[in-house]
Structure 1
Amino acid sequence: MRVDKYLWCVRYFKTRSKATDAAKKGRIRVNNDIVKPARDVYPGDIIQVRKDQIDYKIEVLDLPPSRVGNKLVNLYRMDRTPAEAFEAKKLISLNQDYYRRKGEGRPTKKDRRDLTDLLRQEEE
């Protein structure tokens, strides 16, 4: 099964065209190789998908016959995404909400530098 069709079938993308676009932009890897949308996937493959600032890691368990319901998705894939990825996304969204209120315009260079300095301090 094509990698774009597989990701659409297991509900990582809302449409196949969005899955195809992600593959064309290099956001999908199979076994650590950047792939084209037509690359076939097989049970046992590890797929990495960069979507919404999260690096999802999926193990293919089986190939679905077509798009499956939300309750059946776990029969066809095992999600190996680390929990830290979701926490980081939550922190980024909270930071953006606090830092820049809606309607205040784009951040200035000084704002960006201050934010970079703050993030460096948190890493240390």
Structure 2
Amino acid sequence: MRLDKYLKISRLVKRRTLAKEIADKGRIEINNRPAKSSTAVNVGDKITIHYGDKIVAVEVLQIAENVKKNAATDLYKILAK
């Protein structure tokens, strides 16, 4: 699954276009490597998102095409906030 779509479905970012902009600016890393919005996300990957002064790191637990709002947090495990 594409990075921008995963961030939207997991609700780590509100909109897919916002996820694309953040990724294309180099503010998202997958496994400590800069990632573009089209980068493939796999189970076990560690995603780090830089929001200004805040850094959020998560590990991908599962990938799903459709997720209900209250089940979105089951897709990842927060490593650092």
- Number of aligned pairs? 81
The 1:49/1:68 distance shift into structure 2, 3 A limit, reads farther
Matched, 1:80 2:73: no
Deviation at residue 52 of structure 1 after TM alignment: 4.5
Aligned positions of 1:1-124 closer than 5 A: 1-69=1-69, 71-82=70-81
Partner of 1:80: helix, strand, or coil? strand
The 1:67/1:8 distance shift into structure 2, 3 A limit, reads farther
| Inter-partner Cα distance in structure 1 for 2:66 and 2:51 | 22
Q: TM-score, normalised by structure 1?
A: 0.61
Structure 2 spans left out of the alignment, 5+ residues: none
Q: TM-score, normalised by structure 2?
A: 0.92
Deviation at residue 68 of structure 1 after TM alignment: 3.5
Structure 1 spans left out of the alignment, 5+ residues: 83-124
Instruction: Report the identity percentage.
Output: 31
More strand by share: 2
Question: Which aligned segments of 4 or more residues in structure 1 are displaced greater than 2 angstroms?
Answer: none
The 1:21/1:62 distance shift into structure 2, 3 A limit, reads same
Deviation at residue 67 of structure 1 after TM alignment: 4.8
| Inter-partner Cα distance in structure 2 for 1:51 and 1:68 | 25
| Inter-partner Cα distance in structure 1 for 2:34 and 2:12 | 17
| Inter-partner Cα distance in structure 2 for 1:81 and 1:68 | 24
More helix by share: 1
| Inter-partner Cα distance in structure 2 for 1:18 and 1:67 | 19
| Inter-partner Cα distance in structure 2 for 1:79 and 1:4 | 18
